[in-house]
Chains A and B, each alone.
Chain A
Amino acid sequence: MSASVLFDAPGPRARSWTLAGNIVGALVVLAVAAWVLVQLDSKGQLEPQLWADAVSARTWQYYLIPGLLNTLRAAAFAIVGSIVFGLVFGTGRLSQIGLVRGVSGTVVEFFRAVPVLLMMVFFYGLFGQLLPGVGDKAFLAVVVALILYNGSVIAELVRSGVGNLPRGQGEAGLAIGLTPGQTLRSVQLPQALVAMLPAMVSQIVVVLKDSALGQLIGYQELLRTGQIVYSADGNPLQVLTVVAVVFIVLNLLLTVVAHQLSRLLSSRTAGQTIEGTGIGNPTAVAAGAGGTDKI
């Protein structure tokens, strides 16, 4: 974080105070870390064998990598589907026709309010009845549930993206004789899509994280294959740590991409580029006292 304006450019006394605070802070952080390590050791969780089993070539080859591929497969289908769903219902909410607006609004608000896990459980049951021959019902249920929730979030992004454009953009479209629909499609949507691209990349983080819910309906994603490993080797703490690290690295990379996109694209649109928050609805944040950087 760059220097915040909450505190002044420090003088000699403040610098020594900050240094002392820094040392105390670092000691507290180290003490917490040491305490955690001691606790782990006292319960025998630092045994090299337990960790070696969690990251062995066999574990990766037969369990974690196939699981990761399934996670990525579900996330890829879900994100493509969500974008289509979001564009359809997002523009639906901006329609000139009241009925289309009403139906799209109801659909979007409904799927944003219902927990993804409930949808997965429901679709798993539904596909079990409708498609008795299909093998991977859990995969379908995961993908459909993720599309309905994240598609609704993207629909809101489309709507707010168009809403955040300067009014002059829409007025200019109408002034040169385009119909409202043409204005939306050829003037407002292209700029809104550029503005919301970083938030859409942030939404992939949400999709990746939520795909782990598939574990609860038996989809063979990364967490599930990790569970298979630790129920055989008896090292849940170690395997779950490895699985979490894989997710964290993937998501941090996506966050960096979103941040760079946001900076790169801000000159390409009349709207304001925003990054998602990784939870709930992305909200635009103006620069203020806390500095402008985001992680």
Chain B
Amino acid sequence: MNDYLSGLGALLQQYDVLGAFWTNIQLTFWGALIALALGTLLALMRISPIASLRWAGATYVSIFRNTPLTIIMTFMVMGVWTALQIQLADNFEDNFFRLAVVGLAVYHAAFVCEAIRSGVNTVPLGQAEAARAIGLSFLPAARLIILPQAFRGATAPLGNTLIALLKNSTVAAAASVSWETSSTMKTMIEFNPNYLWEIFAVFAIGYVILVIPIGLLTTWLSRRLAVKR
């Protein structure tokens, strides 16, 4: 029993599990920030009166929403970095990390766009009609009337997208970010197969601890922010 515990303790000291989780949190943070900006822009394009922008936004969403994230991540390394020689940082680690962030961001921007659009759909027609009636044109109406309510209505789907982004940050393994959780877990299992269940439990519980508060928080926020109608 003591051997077992000290073996497990040594294993957890040998590998930087907390550091791996910290990497995923950082990937999620930067990915979410860029995805939110890009997704809002795409949502604006998709509800704008200009047909070519609507078309461009819709095309972006249907391309990136339907491509597996694993392919996007592989493409960031093999297509963008190897084939096109686009480098985002001087050292390998930062370069792979930034490529992974861009991959996560372009994929999840499509879902942020759809989340915001579903938020726009929660705004009653009368709000847009009232905005028009008092003489606001498209951009002021969107900025002052529609989007503030749309973001409140989009809290729940945006929260779902954030949770998906956190879980999907493990796919950074496909972009050679080899120090994040899924790669760390794979290495640990390879060299310590006798602790298979324990290693999985540590990582799985780590994600449960991260995901469930985000879920509770966004549910609470979406109730609190909901516009009473």
Contact = CB atoms under 8 A, between A and B. Distances in A.
A286 to B, nearest CB: 6
Secondary structure dominating the interface of B: helix
Contacts of A181: none
B66 A251 contact: yes
Contact of A43 (B75, B84, B203, B207): B84
Contacts of A244: 67-68, 71-72, 75
B121 A290 contact: yes
A180 interface: no
B75 A213 contact: no
Contact of B128 (A6, A116, A209, A252): A6
A291 B185 CA distance: 45
A112 B208 CA distance: 9
A5 B70 contact: no
Interface stretch (B2-10, B11-19, B94-102, B110-118): B110-118
Given A25-B50, A244-B71, A114 B83 contact: no
B163 interface: yes
Contact of B52 (A8, A26, A278, A287): A26
B174 A118 contact: no
B70 A115 contact: no
B71 A290 contact: no
Nearest to B121: A288
B196 A125 contact: yes
> Which are the 4 A-B pairs with shortest beta-carbon distances?
A280-B160, A236-B78, A251-B66, A290-B120
A133 B50 CA distance: 61
A240 B185 contact: no
Contact of A289 (B67, B120, B137, B173): B120
Interface string A229-243: 010000111001101
Nearest to A21: B50
A228 to B, nearest CB: 13
Contacts of A286: 121-122
A116 B63 CA distance: 22
Contacts of B50: 18, 21-22, 25
Contacts of A112: 211
B101 to A, nearest CB: 17
B200 interface: yes
A237 to B, nearest CB: 4
A117 interface: yes
Interface in A7-35: 7-8, 10, 18, 21-23, 25-26, 29
Contact of B111 (A29, A248, A277): A277
Interface in B126-175: 127-129, 132, 137-138, 141-142, 146, 156-157, 160-161, 163-164, 167-168, 170-171, 173-174
A213 B129 contact: no
A287 B122 CA distance: 7
A285 interface: yes
10 contacts: A22-B51, A45-B83, A110-B208, A247-B66, A277-B157, A288-B125, A289-B127, A290-B47, A290-B121, A290-B123
A155 to B, nearest CB: 16
B189 interface: yes
A1 B68 contact: no
Which one of B46, B68, B125, B163 has the highest number of Cβ atoms from chain A below 10 Å of its Cβ?
A: B68
Contact of A6 (B53, B65, B142): B142
A288 B120 contact: yes
Nearest to A43: B84
A280 B120 contact: no
A23 B53 CA distance: 10
Contacts of B67: 209, 244, 247-248
